[in-house]
Structure 1
Amino acid sequence: MKKKILFIILTISILAIGIGFSKKNKVEIDKIKSVNLSTDYEIKQALEDIKDLGVNTVNVPVVIQIPNIKSNDMKIDDYSKQKAIKLIKILKKKDIKVILEAYPWINNGRSYETEYNPLDKEKFFKDWKIVLNTLIDDVANKHDVDIIITGSNLQNLEKYEDNWCDIIDFVKEKFDGLVTYKTSWWYTASWDKKSIDRYNKKLNNKLFSKVDFISIASYFELSDKAENTVEELVSCLNSTTIHNRKQNVVKEIYNFHKKHNKEIFFGELGFPRRDYAAKHPWDAAVSNVENAKEQSRCFKAYKQIFEDKDYLKGFSVFAVGQKGKDKNFYPSNESIDVIYSWYNK
């Protein structure tokens, strides 16, 4: 009888171990060195960029069609979904990790997701959960995706903390990989109390304690000069000079780690190949003057400050996979050298 009980216990233990190994280990991903693909990426170009930049992860977008910034209508673009599946299969064979992002494509890409403000908020969260559920079932769980982004740069909706917490719990229940949420950049100014209050409200949003790590789209405005030295940009990251704001970007980012005990990930890190790249990093048309070196100096400043920070989980370069004439964020040769060297000691 004792032998039979021992055999049953041993069998259950083996099965439990097997189940454990069948699930993703949520601490297996160390430093993430990633690229964001533009929504119109070409698979061949994406694979070339992945190799040239020496990354271990790719942020794969699936387009979510939304008619305008007030609309509650949303639809997964089937072509985008099928292209994502095709690419993910190739990436997994190459041992490259995958971040899956439901990408709000508003007014055919003419409107920013940061402006999105649907009229019916409850309907949005109900429908967004359906979108994520479909992507989990059709893409993430079927094709061994490693990370899911539950929301991206939806700053007009971020204040609905309970709704986001519900969505994050839902995704964690269905998906075995890591779960994150990507918040948009912000600014504070020493002379603007409202900006500091907005930052503190963002910092204390309880949704950030729910995710496995915190993603930030890091388009922080640093300097209003057309060109800067790396040393000047490093200084600006500790005290911005644009509009004399004196924002300590490094400290404010660290505060998210300290407050929520989560690693920080630069879910989008990009600069246009233009003069004034550090002024409005989010603006592809910030200047008509091309400046490959200024773009690379911006990357170098971030690398110099953040590469050795234990709390930084990594970064994702915005954006590759398409290098047409209008792709001003596509990294220059000088930037590629900087990015390749990051985490490549």
Structure 2
Amino acid sequence: MTIFRFLFLAVIVSSCAAQKEKINGLSFVAAPIEVDQSHVNPVVEVGANYTAVMPFGFMRNLEHPEIIHNTDRQWFGETRAGTKQYIEELRKKQIKIMIKPQIWVWHGQFTGHIKMSSEKNWKALEKTYTKFIIEYANLAQETKAEIFCIGTELENFVKERPEYWNDIINKIKTIYKGKLTYAANWDEFKRTPFWSQVDYIGVDAYFPVSDKQTPSVEDCKAGWQGHKKVIKSISETHNKPILFTEYGYRSMDFTGKEPWESDHTIESLNFEAQTNATQALFEEFWNEAWFAGGFIWKWFVDYENEGGNKDNQFTPQNKPVETVIQSFYKSN
């Protein structure tokens, strides 16, 4: 065997090994019920090897410091017990886990705008957030979750209280021994100050990529180029892989224009736009060595009754884009 042929085969073997390590994830949405294997089987069928399991805490408004969590007034899947039960069922099919605690502010106000009106209230928020996040750091260690996400889209909180975030990361590390990330919003991650302290640079990847009503794959790929350069540069600066802690598109017109848009009054239906935008994202990122993978937003427990030909929301379930996801996930 010539040296050239040997090196060529080595590259192929190495590439295949790297592909098997990609995080092909789904955001497994909390539900009022316990899950069983009938809910897990579609996760396996689409080719996912990871799910993000997402317990929730609730805030009254952007200035209210109390986070209410793990109560009997919440849906089962939003609680500690529900999170653990979901993990146990997913583990039966060798699905790996990211625990991703999230905050819901009343009326769906954006968590990145959380801001306290006084030092007293900032201290109160820190105290209650610590209680919330440590609850799930302990669960992550108990269940041996592969990844723990320390927060989701909390830019102003991070900006205003940098010492707190340094301290809470250190505290989490005394409890949880797996990999850490933080889910920064797409326009936040460039400024997140603590990437050196976690294992993955987490990005909720709702980058605008096209203003067209039905963008082609090539349109979206072109729209990624400027963003991709910045994303790669942040990865190189911190020597950390990029993880799309959320990614996905709605099945509607102009889905690539403002991909974060969740307005339920929008009525347009466009499966081609969703499929093309998703295909472009896979083609741009999934074979990059510095890219760890990602978690599609979002995947509901009750597969048979979700998504479908009248749904214009994010879920890929029972839509043409599901085949695209399956193709990439099962080949990587």
Superposed CA offset, 1:120-146 (max 9, x none): 323322321221222233x22222222
Match of 1:55 in 2: 48
Counterpart secondary structure, 2:127: helix
- Does residue 330 (structure 1) correspond to residue 315 (structure 2)? The answer is yes
Question: Could you say which residue in structure 2 is the equivalent of 1:30?
Answer: 21
For normalisation by structure 2, the TM-score amounts to 0.82
| Aligned-partner residue type, residue 64 of structure 2 | S
C-alpha distance in 1, partners of 2:243/2:45? 21
Per the alignment, residue 141 of structure 1 pairs with: 141
Which residue does the alignment assign to 2:218? 231
The correspondence of residues 2-21 of structure 1 with structure 2, limited to 5 A, is: none
Q: Equivalent pairs: percent with the same residue?
A: 23
Q: Residues 1-345 of structure 1 correspond to what in structure 2 (within 5 A)?
A: 30-40=21-31, 43=35, 46-78=39-71, 79=76, 80-81=78-79, 82-107=81-106, 110-119=108-117, 120-137=121-138, 139-159=139-159, 160-186=161-187, 203=190, 205-238=192-225, 248-285=226-263, 287-321=266-300, 323=306, 328-331=313-316, 333-345=319-331
Q: Cα distance, 1:343 vs. partner?
A: 4.4
What SS is found at the alignment partner of 2:181? Answer: strand
The amino acid that maps onto 2:46 is L
The alignment yields a C-alpha RMSD, in angstroms, of 2.3
- Is the CA contact 2:186–2:206 (under 8 Å) kept in the aligned structure 1? yes
What residue identity is the alignment partner of 2:108? R
Question: Alpha-carbon deviations, 1:270-291, whole Å to 9, x = none?
Answer: 1111011101111133841111
Larger Rg: 1
Length, aligned pairs only: 293
Give the AA of the match of 2:237.
K
2-side partners of 1:52 and 1:59: how far apart? 17
Q: In 2, are the aligned partners of 1:41 and 1:321 still within 8 Å (CA)?
A: no
How far, CA to CA, are the matches of 1:165 and 1:212 in structure 2?
Answer: 14
In the alignment, the residues of structure 2 paired with residue 98 and residue 74 of structure 1 have an alpha-carbon distance, to the nearest angstrom, of 24
Distance 1:31 1:59 in 2: 14
Give the distance between the partners of 1:86 and 1:327, measured in 2 at CA. Answer: 30
CA distance 1:38–1:91, change in 2 (3 Å): closer
SS at match of 2:51: strand
What's the offset of the Cα at 1:90? 0.9
By how many angstroms is 1:254 displaced? 0.6
Q: Are the equivalent residues in 1 in contact too, given 2:47–2:329 (CA < 8 A)?
A: no
* Contact kept in structure 2, 1:41 and 1:320, CA below 8 Å: no
Q: Which 10-residue stretch deviates more, 278-287 or 86-95?
A: 278-287
SS in 1 for 2:55: strand
Structure 1 residues 105 and 30, CA gap change in structure 2 (3 angstroms): same
Q: 1:343 to 1:98 in 2, by over 3 A?
A: same
Q: Unaligned 5+ residue runs, structure 2?
A: 1-19
User: Is the contact between residue 184 and residue 192 of structure 2 (CA under 8 Å) also seen in structure 1?
Assistant: no
Offset, 1:106:
1.4
One-letter amino acid matched to 1:258 = E
